Chain A
Amino acid sequence: MKRGENTFSLRDIATGFGCCQQHLSGAKLDWLQNYREAALAQLRQEGLPWRKTEDWKYTSVRALMTREFALALTPIAVRPERMPTLPDVEHRAVMINGCFSYSLSQLKTLPPGLSVSSLAAALVSHPQVLQDRVGATAVLERHPFAALNSAFFHDGLVIEVASGVRVTEPLFILGWSGGVPCRLTQPRLLIDLGKGAELTLMEHYAGDGVGHFNNQLAEISLGENAQLTHVTLHQAAGDHLIHGTHVRCGRGSRYRAWNIDLDGVLLRNDLAVRLAERGAECSLDGLFLVGESRHVDNHIRIDHQAIACRSRVFYKGLLGKGGRGVFNGKVIVHPEGQQTDARQVNCNLLLARDVEIDSKPELEIYADDVKCSHGSTAGELDNDSLFYLRSRGISLPRARTLLAEAFAREIIDRMKVSIEDGKMLCHWVTAKLTPQLHQLANREVTL
């Protein structure tokens, strides 16, 4: 084991914490130590999820429990050719094994009003600012992996957009895991948009696919009338990803997310949005592809805590041979949430016989003047459409791919029309999506 790396097992978190505590960023900051210990206590009290844990009923983390990981506290050197192709954007922040990489990031020409820095560095340079930020929007109760991240995070990103600043260029974030042995990386992202600020974030997670475990937690806070567009692409074949995104939306602000899950042995997204003040809005789109020995679980929770807030959830799943998917969308309308307008839809395309999707839209309403709806569908490729395409000379595999693409395209198209510069983003996502779709759509068909 290299210096700065400790082995870690989920079965014995306390020992792991004891070993690495003094190596973690901000080890000398009392408030942070207290926060970490509180998180650990929370975790100890609730325990890691098992099959009787309601929020984890369909997703097992047993595979993670039986392994040992190296706790990654320093970045490793990566040859550029091993990295995934990056989109053509000017500003990017790169995290290798959860640690900010100065050499691969490109942040020199950031526009005024946008600041991006390493969390570890910020804990050294201006810890007092972070004291109000860390834990400001994160919810640890019933989020065991958010608690785990809170106890162990070492590095990550601090992103800030000053009030009134509209950043036109997207900011790209790459998270990459690599090396032997398998790493446990727990980056923490703190994202704050001031009053009226606007930003587009593109996040991409990938790895060398040997079985790393990336447990990320992002805390996002949107000021009055701020607008964040957040596109995430998960493509970490062989790796385990548990990503928490906890968002607080201020008055009139808008959070728009596109979550594209292409690959990963285990992929769990916990997206929790609090519409905390009047007129806040969120629109959450998702597209997940699940193939053989893959498991994707999208858990969404939206809290309507104020008057006249609006939420939209639209997730589509494509499940290929052996794939297992979970969609759980919960909307809670609090007594203060009058005039709530909430809608959620989850549509699933089953591309083989042995797939499973557990789709569960939920509504809890404690106000009386609301407009809420939810729906869920699951279906197969339409035989008439397949025949129509084949009768024009298109091969069966190509026809299946075309139809699977058509199903997925709706999400991508929504991105194209909703985001400024959306074309580049869609192009980038589509390039990653198409080969994966072809494979997924045709696993059971003789090529």
Chain B
Amino acid sequence: MLSIRNLWASVNDSDILKGLSLEVGVGEVHAVMGPNGSGKSTLARVLAGREEYTVRADTLTYCGHDLLSMSPEERAREGIFMAFQYPVEIPGVSNIQLLKTAYNSLRKHRHEPTLDAVDFLAMVKACLKQVGMEAGFLQRAVNADFSGGEKKRNEILQMLVLEPRLAILDETDSGLDIDALRIVAEGINSLRSPERAIVLVTHYQRLLNYVVPDCVHILAEGRIRRSGGPELACLLEEKGYGWIAAEDDSTVGGTA
């Protein structure tokens, strides 16, 4: 579904991703872990289409589409969703307005009839319940004066409403208390299906206790350094990130 080969991304002439490669198959859940500054969020933003990065790659395709030629909204309409690490506050635009406009843009793109207000509201209310939010929340301005946990749950709500084919969650677990983490995890799990893929960008193994990934990747210095199963995350939790660098150094030393 997502195929990345030799991806380079830089901002202000400084390289952040340096030849990253990653394959995500349909129906799979991948976790991308790594220390601060390793390029995890850059990867998520580049996939969503953030424009301030200079990006080049041998291959960067999603369901056969060349991502680099697509605008952020085209990517979203083709089914890519990024949950933001820091969801943006938009005073003056209500949640329901955002959800409805976004949802109908997607339906229009798929040549499906747009939903009327009543049907849409019924659908959204079901999703609201899933993330444990009150209906009054819909009239509030997008993320404005939301707590950290509410903002993250709001991202999950949008994801549930928009039903993406590829969901990229950028540190959605950071800053959540245990109950909120469980709600967020349940939201992600409910979306898990053979037609979808999920990429979890995270610092901690904690989320992976709830959402068990098929693959875990360790990103450091702009490249995937290790890939493995869920056990890799446990190893990280135990030993930290230092050992990878040390091991890599010794490998480099050995071949020199």
- When A394-B105, A396-B71 are in contact, do A389 and B92 touch as well, CB less than 8 Å? no
The answer to whether A391 and B49 touch across the interface, beta carbons within 8 angstroms, is yes
Cα(A398)–Cα(B101), bound, Å: 9
Write out the residue numbers on chain B whose beta carbons fall within 8 Å of the beta carbon of A409. Answer: 92
Decide yes or no whether B77 CB sits under 8 A from chain A: yes
The answer to whether B105 and A398 touch across the interface, beta carbons within 8 angstroms, is yes
Write out the residue numbers on chain A whose beta carbons fall within 8 Å of the beta carbon of B105. Answer: 392-395, 398
Q: Chain A's nearest CB lies how many Å from the CB of B83?
A: 10
B91, B106, B142: the one within 8 Å of A393 (CB): B106
Decide yes or no whether B102 CB sits under 8 A from chain A: yes
A218-252 at interface with B (beta carbon < 8 Å): none
Cα(A227)–Cα(B111), bound, Å: 53
The answer to whether A392 and B158 touch across the interface, beta carbons within 8 angstroms, is yes
Identity of the chain B residue whose Cβ is nearest the Cβ of A382 in the assembled complex: B88
The answer to whether A406 and B90 touch across the interface, beta carbons within 8 angstroms, is yes
Most buried by B among A396, A402, A407, A410: A402
Write out the residue numbers on chain B whose beta carbons fall within 8 Å of the beta carbon of A399. Answer: 73
Cα(A56)–Cα(B84), bound, Å: 48
Q: Chain B's nearest CB lies how many Å from the CB of A438?
A: 13
Write out the residue numbers on chain A whose beta carbons fall within 8 Å of the beta carbon of B90. Answer: 385, 388-389, 403, 406
B163-196 at interface with A (beta carbon < 8 Å): none
Decide yes or no whether B135 CB sits under 8 A from chain A: no
* 0/1 interface trace, chain B 81-122, chain A, CB 8 Å (1 if under): 110100110111100011001100110010000000000000
How many residues of A are counted as interface, with CB atoms below 8 angstroms from the partner's CB atoms? 22
The answer to whether A407 and B92 touch across the interface, beta carbons within 8 angstroms, is yes
Write out the residue numbers on chain A whose beta carbons fall within 8 Å of the beta carbon of B106. Answer: 393
Q: Chain B's nearest CB lies how many Å from the CB of A347?
A: 12
Decide yes or no whether A387 CB sits under 8 A from chain B: yes
Cα(A387)–Cα(B75), bound, Å: 12
The answer to whether A393 and B102 touch across the interface, beta carbons within 8 angstroms, is yes
The answer to whether B88 and A385 touch across the interface, beta carbons within 8 angstroms, is yes
Write out the residue numbers on chain A whose beta carbons fall within 8 Å of the beta carbon of B48. Answer: 391
A342-384 at interface with B (beta carbon < 8 Å): 382, 384
- Residues of A contacting B: mostly: helix
Decide yes or no whether B72 CB sits under 8 A from chain A: yes
The answer to whether B82 and A402 touch across the interface, beta carbons within 8 angstroms, is no
Identity of the chain A residue whose Cβ is nearest the Cβ of B99 in the assembled complex: A392
A384, A387, A394, A407: the one within 8 Å of B102 (CB): A394
Decide yes or no whether B50 CB sits under 8 A from chain A: yes
Decide yes or no whether B76 CB sits under 8 A from chain A: yes
Decide yes or no whether B198 CB sits under 8 A from chain A: no
Write out the residue numbers on chain A whose beta carbons fall within 8 Å of the beta carbon of B142. Answer: 388
Decide yes or no whether B138 CB sits under 8 A from chain A: no
A388, A396, A405, A410: the one within 8 Å of B87 (CB): A388
Decide yes or no whether B162 CB sits under 8 A from chain A: yes
Write out the residue numbers on chain A whose beta carbons fall within 8 Å of the beta carbon of B91. Answer: 406
Identity of the chain B residue whose Cβ is nearest the Cβ of A402 in the assembled complex: B93
Write out the residue numbers on chain B whose beta carbons fall within 8 Å of the beta carbon of A406. Answer: 90-93, 141
Identity of the chain A residue whose Cβ is nearest the Cβ of B45 in the assembled complex: A387
Write out the residue numbers on chain B whose beta carbons fall within 8 Å of the beta carbon of A407. Answer: 92
Decide yes or no whether A334 CB sits under 8 A from chain B: no
Write out the residue numbers on chain A whose beta carbons fall within 8 Å of the beta carbon of B97. Answer: 402
- When A393-B109, A395-B105 are in contact, do A403 and B76 touch as well, CB less than 8 Å? no
Write out the residue numbers on chain A whose beta carbons fall within 8 Å of the beta carbon of B49. Answer: 387, 390-391
The answer to whether A391 and B76 touch across the interface, beta carbons within 8 angstroms, is yes
Write out the residue numbers on chain B whose beta carbons fall within 8 Å of the beta carbon of A394. Answer: 73, 76, 98, 101-102, 105
Identity of the chain B residue whose Cβ is nearest the Cβ of A389 in the assembled complex: B98
Identity of the chain A residue whose Cβ is nearest the Cβ of B101 in the assembled complex: A394
Q: Chain B's nearest CB lies how many Å from the CB of A436?
A: 17
B71, B75, B76, B88: the one within 8 Å of A384 (CB): B88
Q: Chain A's nearest CB lies how many Å from the CB of B114?
A: 13
Cα(A387)–Cα(B142), bound, Å: 14
Q: Chain A's nearest CB lies how many Å from the CB of B76?
A: 4
The answer to whether A392 and B98 touch across the interface, beta carbons within 8 angstroms, is yes
* 0/1 interface trace, chain A 41-52, chain B, CB 8 Å (1 if under): 000000000000
Q: Chain B's nearest CB lies how many Å from the CB of A416?
A: 13
Cα(A406)–Cα(B141), bound, Å: 10
Identity of the chain A residue whose Cβ is nearest the Cβ of B92 in the assembled complex: A406
Most buried by B among A392, A393, A395, A402: A393
B72, B77, B162: the one within 8 Å of A387 (CB): B72
Counting from the closest, the 8 A-B pairs by CB-CB distance are A406-B92, A393-B76, A392-B102, A390-B72, A388-B88, A393-B105, A390-B73, A406-B93
Q: Which residues of B pack against A, CB within 8 Å?
A: 48-51, 71-73, 75-77, 81-82, 84, 87-88, 90-93, 97-98, 101-102, 105-106, 109, 141-142, 158, 162
23 of the cross-chain contacts (CB-CB < 8 Å) are A385-B88, A387-B72, A388-B90, A389-B90, A389-B102, A390-B76, A391-B48, A391-B49, A391-B75, A391-B82, A391-B84, A392-B101, A392-B105, A393-B102, A393-B109, A394-B101, A394-B105, A395-B105, A398-B101, A402-B98, A405-B92, A406-B93, A406-B141
